[in-house]
Amino acid sequence: MLSSVAVIVLPPLAAFEFGLAAEVFGIDRSAREPGLPRFDFRVCTVVPGPVTLKGGVSLLVDRGLEATADADLVIMAPSGDNDGQVIPEPVLDALRAAHARGAWVMSICSGAFALARAGLLDGRRCTTHWHFSGLLAEQYPQALVDENVLYVQDGRVITSAGTAAGIDACLHLVRVEFGAKVAAAIARDMVVPPHRDGGQAQYIDRPIPACGSEPMERLLEWMVRHLQEEHSVNELAARVHMSPRTFARRFRAETGATPAAWLNSQRVLRAQELLETTDFSIDEVARAAGFGHSVLLRRHFIKALDTSPQGYRRAFRGQLATV
């Protein structure tokens, strides 16, 4: 179980990306919401002392890289230059050691370059900010770089794209370790969406809309309330007074997914919640989530989460009963 988190920082540190890791893992929320995890959160660097942040201020870091030695998760925070700077060898050694002993290793934004230099991305799907993805692929041809996703989990290595995508990656790991309900509770406290699928586009081409975004937002809310129903593109388009072709284009521009893919992702989320919080049979969960039958639920569940509904319930139901 994930209980200790070490963040490696180097100057000039990207303040927002460091801050989001601290926001997810560094705040004890268990006092005001019993059942939420409390993490042993550590910040470390090569030589303890002031670490300059982008913008000129400094962060006083009092721990060295020994803080990573027994951490369950080691996060490589991005610095302003770490897409091109030489990463100190002790940092690379710490990342390799964490991976070798089975810890989670995560990079945020251009922190992926440190993972690549450590050899942890060889033959592994990964991502980084789209500004740097071409350079990462060029410098590390053994890495399987995908610039069109928010984050990637490949084994116990997680890489994320720029800025806010780091929140998605952190919440994804919380969801993997503790379940959807805990991830949703932390997201609610942070006032961010509880889940954005890792395969969603990093940035979405938003053409000038034929109408405002409010009708589309109302439609998405309606779709979530009617997951048990089938929804054709023609029907959905009619609800927002668009042609099917225009609607399909606008929907993808707004969400980064097709209507069918978006619905299935919402149905998987609903199934996770039901598996954690109810005694429904798998067939009942499938019907309530909108999949109709357990075979279809299992297929989408394995595709999205790499586990079966039964396996998910076994992993999360007991430990989340009091959340």
Decide the pairing of beta strands 151-154 and 73-76.
unpaired
Assign domain 213-256 to its CATH superfamily. Homeodomain-like (1.10.10.60)
Annotation: CATH topology of 4-190:
Rossmann fold (3.40.50)
Rounded to a whole number of angstroms, the distance between the first and last alpha carbons of the chain is 16
* Chain segment 306-323, per-residue pLDDT in tens: 788 988 887 765 444 333
| Mean pLDDT (whole number) for 152-174 | 92
> Taking the complete model, does pTM exceed 0.95, yes or no?
no
Q: 261-316: same fold as 4-190? A: no
The string of pLDDT tens digits covering residues 71-82 is 999 999 998 765
Q: Cβ(8)–Cβ(91) under 8 Å? A: yes
Where does the pLDDT of residue 196 fall: very low under 50, low under 70, confident under 90, or very high at 90 and above? low
- Copy the structure tokens of residue 302: 């394995």
Identify the pLDDT of residue 303.
85
Average pLDDT, integer, range 99-117? 97
CA 146 → CA 137, 182, 240, distances in Å?
9, 28, 33
User: Is pLDDT of 198 > 60?
Assistant: no
Structural domain boundaries in the chain: 4-190, 213-256, 261-316
Q: Answer yes or no: is pLDDT of 212 > 80.
A: no
Quickly name the fold that domain 261-316 has: Arc Repressor Mutant, subunit A (1.10.10)
Helix ranges (H only) for the chain are 15-25, 89-100, 112-117, 133-139, 165-178, 180-190, 213-225, 233-239, 244-255, 259-277, 282-289, 294-305, 309-316
pLDDT of residue 180: 80
